[in-house]
Structure 1
Amino acid sequence: MKNNSSPATSHSSGVDQEQRNLQQATIYRILLAVSFVHLFNDSIQALIPAMFPILKNNLLLSYAQIGWISFALNMTSSVIQPVIGYAADRKPRPILLPLGMCCTFAGVLLLAFADNYILVIFSVMLVGFGSAAFHPEGMRVAHMAAGLRKGLSQSIFQVGGNAGQSLGPLLMKWIFIPYGQIGALGFTLVAAAGIAVQTYVARWYRQMLDSGYTFRKKSTTHKLDAARSKSILSATIILVFLVFVRSWYGASIGSYYSFYLMDQYNMKLDDAQIYIFMYLAAGAVGTFFGGPLADRFGRRNLILISMVGTVPFALALPFVNPFWAAVLLLIGGFVLLSSFSVTVIYAQMLYPGNIGTVSGLITGLAFGLGGIGSLVIGNLIDYIGISKVFVACGFLPLLGLLALRLPSDKKLEGWAAD
């Protein structure tokens, strides 16, 4: 029987098959590499809140000034992320991966020697810019290396970041308490390791792009109807707001709870840091298990449960003794951050193909807006006291009830199938 297909058709079919193979294979070495860099990046970010007690004593800072440092870090690491992500979705830039870590290296080096408030602000802004360059392209790499296992890739990628954040309190206990501010100098080695790994990942990323990998389906020309566009916009606003609230509550624990423990229980600083570590480490575990839990109970349901389910623990926290505080922090951290990777996957379903933009919105802009929360909390502590502020913060997760206004998983899957 004669084969009627032309050479051009055969070549096109071969290219399409190669595209499918590229997009279906799960590349674990790249997933693990980018997850480790996420750990490096976020552990360096975590050292800045860990240094707050040292900086407060060395430079005689107020709580409000501590809040401004947190604000500078979060805003620079987050607000420009949607811009970088949007640009990366239109033209990928693998070179941003090692360049971003170079910026982080410079920020950490300056921070170790910063002897005035302005230089501290400038140093943390450099670290923030490095993080802003990493996250959108890092998430695109994780999506690219995931193949068909998108949920698993998000869990691996995000757990690296949350594990890095959980290291902050241990950094204080093991490095900054014994060595002081100059201890930050050791993290230039972490940044240097990140530059080396990012260079390797960027080369693979470039090779995949040169091989024809694309993030978008070819048939993206049909225009969404007005009702669906309105629903997607509304869902985006709610989702960003929920991540903002989650970040605000997280900032109250990560940046100020050690001060609360020292104020209320006369606890030593190194002991107080263990409590922050337990909260963040439990959150990292929750992040890893969030994907499987969402598969069982639904993405929207898990976002709702993770927020509202935190309320009893958050409300009880200011009124219990240190033992029960540790228990509540472990449970609350796990529950609240179980939706961390799920919110990213949910947003990706709202905007299929726009991986960098989604990263900028969810892990960038919304998290950065949480920095505003940290600034507000610092000012409130100066005016009304730390005890009253922590009682008030316990009500924040109640705003998770807004998740009821998000489209159901079934509706999202129906949109994706159109």
Structure 2
Amino acid sequence: MNEQLNNSGEIPVNRIKNVTGQTVFPILFAISFSHLLNDTIQSLIPAIYPIVKDSFSLTFTQIGLITLTFQMAASLLQPFVGLYTDRKPQPYSLAIGMGFSLAGLVLLSQASNFGMLIFSVALVGIGSSIFHPEASRMASMASGGRRGMAQSVFQVGGNAGSSIGPLLAALIIVPYGQSNIIWFSVLALLAIIILLNVGSWYKLKIKSRADKVVTAYTVQTLPRNKIILSVMILLILIFSKYFYLTSMSSYYTFYVIHKFGVSVQSSQIYLFIFLFSVAAGTLIGGPLGDKIGRKYVIWGSILGVAPFTLLLPHANLFWTAVLTVPIGVILASAFSAILVYAQELIPGKVGMISGLFFGFAFGMGGVGSALLGALADRTSIEYVYSICAFLPLIGLITGFLPDIGRKGK
């Protein structure tokens, strides 16, 4: 493997199709587990909303502002972090980012007013903005050409963490209070230890210039205007996906509490069911995209979830829980396919593309939470879900995407 590498550590586009590599599963699993720990910490933020809403007498608009602050802090820096690390890889940046999350977690456990809540979630968001672009690059480096599979393994850790967080919150934080968030700092410390070791592996790869990001896909060169149009379509699809996801992650507990009268603790269990389904669905999109093409996975994922979202506002408690399973599984399969599709659309910019799409996804989640919170205050939480049910229909625009990313012979 003596191929000449370009400045970003990528193999030049015209030489990609003849190169394969070996998947480094220990690194993939380490990054995925770190993603699990990172997103477990992040998911504590919406999981404690029912607690802080009562203890600080917050409105839905203020709840939305907390999410907006976190998501914007997690999104705005990501493209710049990715662009910088495309040029100058930073092996230990992941551990540094987790340090910000650790500080935010400690402050969140001790927050005594709305301002402290905002500041603490911003620190967690900054940690996330540093973590995701470079972690996505490491997943690509370790993929051995199976980039869809690698991104799915990386993503499933994050989504599993997002599902575990509310369950742990129901067991530890809801019964015993906000201050018990401090116990989750152990997860951040564990992640820092793992990421320091992953950083050492990454540093050796940078020095040796061997086994860099390798792909088994033939990259098609498209006209600039078609690339721009495709990126815009992908970002619109991200908007559709994450506006709906934020309606579930931020307000689903309030929805089942208000509509069906369940307890706060029980509402966390229902949220866990949905988020666990999201984690399971993440494993599907990447490997399936490796086999049949990303576009078809994107099409089936976003548009295919529409029948279930349209039924959800009219279901009883039992069927609400049942419907959230296919919604989570189908909708979650899109992101890995979208991300790798975009990376293949603009080769050589793994960090920048990862930062852009992770950042935009986080940003849309934050904006969506703020807008939906304000809408819930003016109307009702049930009305919010009746409106969001139509968002997956935006998936129809997937038909305008070109076919790329098919496996080379």
**What is the TM-score with the length of structure 1 in the denominator?**
0.89
1:182-201 aligned at under 5 Å gives the runs: 182-201=179-198
The yes-or-no answer on 1:381 pairing with 2:359 is: no
Shift of 1:171: 2.2
Shift of 1:113: 0.1
Work out whether residues 23 and 144 of structure 1, in 8 Å CA contact, stay in contact via their aligned partners in 2.
Answer: no
State the SS of the aligned residue for 1:147.
coil
AA partner of residue 177 (structure 1): V
Residues of 1 paired with 2:272 and 2:246: CA distance? Answer: 13
Residues of 1 paired with 2:211 and 2:114: CA distance? Answer: 45
Measured against aligned partners, the alpha-carbon deviations of 1:2-61 in whole angstroms (never above 9, x if no partner) come to: xxxxxxxxxxx96869x99x9723211111111110001111110100011111111111
Q: Which residue of 1 aligns with 2:247?
A: 252
Residues of 2 paired with 1:324 and 1:343: CA distance? Answer: 30
Q: Which residue of 2 aligns with 1:4?
A: none
Q: Which residue of 2 aligns with 1:5?
A: none
Shift of 1:296: 4.7
Shift of 1:108: 0.2
Q: Which residue of 2 aligns with 1:82?
A: 79
Shift of 1:213: 3.9
AA partner of residue 51 (structure 1): I
The yes-or-no answer on 1:404 pairing with 2:383 is: no
The yes-or-no answer on 1:355 pairing with 2:369 is: no
Shift of 1:96: 0.9
Q: Which residue of 2 aligns with 1:167?
A: 164
Structure 1, gaps ≥5 residues long: 1-12, 218-223
Residues of 1 paired with 2:382 and 2:148: CA distance? Answer: 39
1:292-371 aligned at under 5 Å gives the runs: 292-371=287-366
Please tell me whether Structure 1 or Structure 2 has the larger radius of gyration of its CA atoms: 1
Q: Which residue of 2 aligns with 1:212?
A: 209
Work out whether residues 245 and 370 of structure 1, in 8 Å CA contact, stay in contact via their aligned partners in 2.
Answer: no
Q: Specify whether residues 403 and 353 from structure 1 end up closer, same or farther in structure 2 by C-alpha distance, changes over 3 A only.
A: same
The Cα RMSD (Å) is 2.2
Q: Specify whether residues 173 and 394 from structure 1 end up closer, same or farther in structure 2 by C-alpha distance, changes over 3 A only.
A: same
AA partner of residue 275 (structure 2): L
Q: Which residue of 2 aligns with 1:114?
A: 111
Work out whether residues 23 and 213 of structure 1, in 8 Å CA contact, stay in contact via their aligned partners in 2.
Answer: no
Q: Which residue of 2 aligns with 1:54?
A: 51
Measured against aligned partners, the alpha-carbon deviations of 1:313-353 in whole angstroms (never above 9, x if no partner) come to: 11111111111111100011111111121111111111112
Shift of 1:146: 1.5
Measured against aligned partners, the alpha-carbon deviations of 1:260-307 in whole angstroms (never above 9, x if no partner) come to: 111111111111111211111111111101223334543112111111
AA partner of residue 108 (structure 1): L
The yes-or-no answer on 1:285 pairing with 2:250 is: no
Q: Which residue of 2 aligns with 1:3?
A: none
State the SS of the aligned residue for 2:265.
helix
Consecutive aligned runs of 4 or more in structure 1 exceeding 6 Å deviation = 13-17
Structure 2, gaps ≥5 residues long: 12-18, 215-220
Work out whether residues 306 and 389 of structure 2, in 8 Å CA contact, stay in contact via their aligned partners in 1.
Answer: yes
Residues of 2 paired with 1:215 and 1:347: CA distance? Answer: 19
1:96 to 93, 100, 112: 93
State the SS of the aligned residue for 1:146.
coil
Q: Which residue of 2 aligns with 1:149?
A: 146
Q: Which residue of 1 aligns with 2:14?
A: none
Shift of 1:215: 5.4
Q: Specify whether residues 293 and 145 from structure 1 end up closer, same or farther in structure 2 by C-alpha distance, changes over 3 A only.
A: closer
Q: Which residue of 1 aligns with 2:62?
A: 65
The yes-or-no answer on 1:137 pairing with 2:113 is: no
Work out whether residues 140 and 213 of structure 2, in 8 Å CA contact, stay in contact via their aligned partners in 1.
Answer: no
Work out whether residues 215 and 353 of structure 1, in 8 Å CA contact, stay in contact via their aligned partners in 2.
Answer: no
Measured against aligned partners, the alpha-carbon deviations of 1:140-173 in whole angstroms (never above 9, x if no partner) come to: 1111112232222111111111111111320221
Residues of 1 paired with 2:88 and 2:406: CA distance? Answer: 27
- Give % identity: 43
1:268 to 223, 247, 263: 263
1:221-260 aligned at under 5 Å gives the runs: 228-260=223-255
Residues of 2 paired with 1:171 and 1:369: CA distance? Answer: 26
Q: Which residue of 1 aligns with 2:35?
A: 38
Residues of 1 paired with 2:159 and 2:41: CA distance? Answer: 12
AA partner of residue 390 (structure 1): Y
Q: Specify whether residues 265 and 26 from structure 1 end up closer, same or farther in structure 2 by C-alpha distance, changes over 3 A only.
A: same
Work out whether residues 290 and 406 of structure 2, in 8 Å CA contact, stay in contact via their aligned partners in 1.
Answer: no
Measured against aligned partners, the alpha-carbon deviations of 1:344-395 in whole angstroms (never above 9, x if no partner) come to: 1111111112111111122222332221011000000000111111101101
AA partner of residue 27 (structure 2): I
2:124 to 116, 123, 127: 127
Residues of 1 paired with 2:232 and 2:3: CA distance? Answer: 39
Residues of 1 paired with 2:357 and 2:94: CA distance? Answer: 19
Work out whether residues 148 and 289 of structure 2, in 8 Å CA contact, stay in contact via their aligned partners in 1.
Answer: no
Shift of 1:109: 0.4
